[in-house]
C-alpha cells in the first residue's frame, strides 16, 4: 500500500485526524512525528483537508523549507489562502524558500496589500525577483519564467551538464 492510499486507511488514525488532535493540543512533537512519516505530497493533501485556522497553526510550526515543500504541492489558490492566514513574517520566511516563479504565482493570488506585507518581510533580493515576475501575466513567457539559473564551468562537457541537470531535477 502506498503512502497516499494510507491517508484513507480505515484501520489506523488518518494523518488528518492525527494532525487535528496534535494541533488542538498544541503538541509540536506529535506534529513533527506525524509530518516526518509523510511525503510532501501527502502532507499537502492532509493540509488541504484542514480548516484555515488549523492550516495556519500547522504551517506556523513547520520549518520554512518543509512548509515551502508543502506549498509547492498545493494549488496556487490554496497556497495563497494558507499564506493569508499566517503572520506576514511567517509567510515571508516560507515564500523566501520557494522558486521565484511560484513565489510570483502564489503572491499574485493575494490581495495586493497582503502580498506587499509578505514581500516587505522577505529577503530583499527575493522580493525584488518576485515583484518583477508578478508584473507579467500568468499566460505569458514572463509569467512562467524563473530568476534562478545554473552556471557551469567552461571545461565541463555537455554530458556532464546534462547529468547534473538530471540529478538536480530529482
State mean pLDDT over 100-109: 88
- Cα 62 from Cα 46, distance rounded (Å): 14
pLDDT tens per residue across span 57-95:
998 888 999 999 999 989 999 999 999 999 999 999 999
State mean pLDDT over 105-113: 91
- For the record, the C-alpha cell of 106 comes out as 502564489
Q: What is the DSSP string of the chain?
A: --HHHHTT-TTS--HHHHHHHHHHHT-HHHHHHHHHTS-HHHHHHHHHTS-HHHHHHHHHHS-HHHHHHHHHHS-HHHHHHHHHHS-HHHHHHHHTTS-HHHHHHHHTTS-HHHHHHHHHHS-HHHHHHHHHHHTS-TTSHHHH--S------TT--HHHHHHHHHHHH-
Q: First vs last Cα of the chain: how many Å apart?
A: 23
State mean pLDDT over 127-146: 64
pLDDT tens per residue across span 12-61:
568 899 999 999 999 989 998 999 989 888 988 898 899 989 998 998 88
| CATH architecture of the domain covering 3-169 | Alpha Horseshoe (1.25)
Q: Say what the pLDDT of residue 11 is.
A: 46
Q: Is the pLDDT of residue 153 over 90?
A: no
- Cα 104 from Cα 130, distance rounded (Å): 5
Q: What residues does each domain of the chain span?
A: 3-169
Q: Look over the chain and give the mean of its residue pLDDT values, rounded to a whole number.
A: 83
Q: Is the pTM of this model over 0.75?
A: no
Q: Say what the pLDDT of residue 18 is.
A: 92
Amino acid at each position: 500500500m502506498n503512502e497516499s492510499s494510507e491517508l484513507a486507511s480505515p484501520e489506523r488514525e488518518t494523518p488528518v485526524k492525527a494532525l487535528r488532535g496534535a494541533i488542538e493540543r498544541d503538541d509540536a512533537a506529535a506534529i513533527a512525528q506525524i509530518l516526518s512519516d509523510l511525503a510532501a505530497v501527502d502532507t499537502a493533501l492532509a493540509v488541504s483537508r484542514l480548516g484555515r485556522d488549523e492550516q495556519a497553526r500547522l504551517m506556523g510550526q513547520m520549518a520554512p523549507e518543509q512548509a515551502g515543500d508543502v506549498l509547492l504541492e498545493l494549488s496556487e489558490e490554496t497556497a495563497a489562502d494558507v499564506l493569508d492566514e499566517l503572520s506576514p513574517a511567517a509567510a515571508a520566511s516560507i515564500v523566501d524558500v520557494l522558486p521565484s516563479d511560484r513565489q510570483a504565482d502564489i503572491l499574485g493570488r493575494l490581495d495586493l496589500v497582503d502580498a506587499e506585507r509578505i514581500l516587505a518581510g522577505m529577503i530583499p533580493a527575493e522580493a525584488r525577483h518576485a515583484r518583477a515576475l508578478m508584473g507579467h501575466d500568468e499566460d505569458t513567457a514572463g509569467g512562467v519564467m524563473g530568476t534562478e539559473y545554473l552556471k557551469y564551468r567552461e571545461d565541463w562537457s555537455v554530458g556532464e551538464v546534462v547529468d547534473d541537470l538530471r540529478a538536480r531535477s530529482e
